[in-house]
Structure 1
Amino acid sequence: MKTLTVGGGCFWCIEAIFNQINGVEKVVSGYMGGKVPGTPTYREVCSGLTGHAEVIQAIYNPDIISLEELLVIFMTSHDPTTLNRQGADVGTQYRSVIFYDTDGERMIAEKVIKELTPYFDDAIVTEVSAITTFHEAEKYHQNYYENNKEQMYCAAVISPKLSKLRKLHADKLKTEN
């Protein structure tokens, strides 16, 4: 099993997307990339003062899905051309970011970004950074979409992203049993 850590706006959206992907065994919402000591809280991260990004860690089976495939899905599931913003969510905590653990992972991330660049009207601003300490988000953030589908944010923001995922990457999704 391998681990991928990415951020692309609110972690609820990215978590919901990665939970649909075949080969992804577990998704955990959390925070990474900050410059302050200790474990940050959601309120602290939302202030924009800690430097952390809202991220997910996806534990995946590379025999089923590759890092490159996961990164293509990630890059096409959010807007990687808006700096520190996804829709109405604004701040460095919502930045588009790929965290890598090895030079090989960094090179794959850079390759995916380069290959996808022609498909966007604006420049891709996704940050590619070395992995730092992952802080798991509070329990109520975990599996948020599945537990709160009726909530307005989920219906208005996450559901359309899942529809786009099904349209663009149907062949990479888990099948219902």
Structure 2
Amino acid sequence: MKTIVVAGGCFWGVEAYMSQIGGIFETKVGYANGKKNNPSYDEVCVGNTGHAEACLITYDEMKVTLEKILNKFWGIIDPTVTNRQGNDIGNQYRSGIYYKDEKDLDIILKTKKETQSRFDKPIVTEVQPLHCFYNAEDYHQKYLQKNPGGYCHINLDN
């Protein structure tokens, strides 16, 4: 099993979308690459912890490739906007790809370059090593499964 962390606005929609992809074993929402240990949702929302709302994806690379996962990810975000996705505005809603395995960087950059060809504006999505990931509170996990009418800026039927 391998892991990758992606951020694309509110983590509820990213998690719900990614969990539908075959070969993805598990998804968890949480807070990535900030400066405070174990932040709460309220602290992250204030915007001074530096964390992005993110989704940790554990996948079976024998069943789904990182390239496929990332191509799906690029298709549900606007990678050209800073600190925003849909109606969600703030530093915690920035887009990002955070990797644990240095070998994944070539694939990430390849998909980013391919995606850039579809946009006139430059892609601002962060690509960084994963420094930290803290699970979000239980009520955020599988939120849209538990609350089917909940807010989501992502078309889950893509």
State TM-score, norm by structure 2. 0.95
Contact 2:97 2:125 in 1 (8 A): yes
Question: 1:85 deviation in Å?
Answer: 0.3
CA deviation string 1:14-63 (max 9, x = no partner): 00111110001110000011012x21000000111000000011111101
Matches within 5 A, 1:141-160: 141-151=140-150, 153-154=151-152, 157-158=153-154
Residue in 2 that maps onto 1:98: 97
**Bigger Rg, structure 1 or 2:** 1
Aligned to 1:173: none
Whole-Å separation in 2 of the counterparts to 1:79 and 1:99: 17
Residue aligning to 1:63:
62
Task: Please give the secondary structure, in 2, of the residue aligned with 1:82.
Answer: coil
Gaps of 5+ in 1: 166-177
- What secondary structure sits across from 1:30 in the alignment? strand
CA deviation profile, 1:77-104 (whole Å, cap 9, x unmatched): 1111111100111111111100012322
Alignment of 1:10-159 (within 5 A): 10-36=10-36, 38-151=37-150, 153-154=151-152, 157-158=153-154
Q: How many residues align?
A: 158
Q: How far is 1:150 from its partner?
A: 2.1
Q: State the alpha-carbon separation in 1 of the partners of residues 146 and 26 from structure 2.
A: 16
Unaligned ranges ≥5, structure 2: none
Q: Residues 22 and 64 of structure 2 are in contact (CA less than 8 Å); yes or no, is this contact kept in structure 1? A: yes
- Is 1:9 matched up with 2:5? no
Choose between structure 1 and 2: higher helix proportion. Answer: 1
Contact 2:33 2:132 in 1 (8 A): yes
After superposition, the CA RMSD in angstroms is 1.1
CA drift at 1:121: 3.3
Structure 2: which amino acid aligns with 1:27? T
What is the SS of the residue equivalent to 1:56? strand
Task: Give runs of ≥4 in structure 1 deviating > 6 Å.
Answer: none
TM-score (norm 1): 0.86
Q: Distance in 1 between matches of 2:90 and 2:142?
A: 23
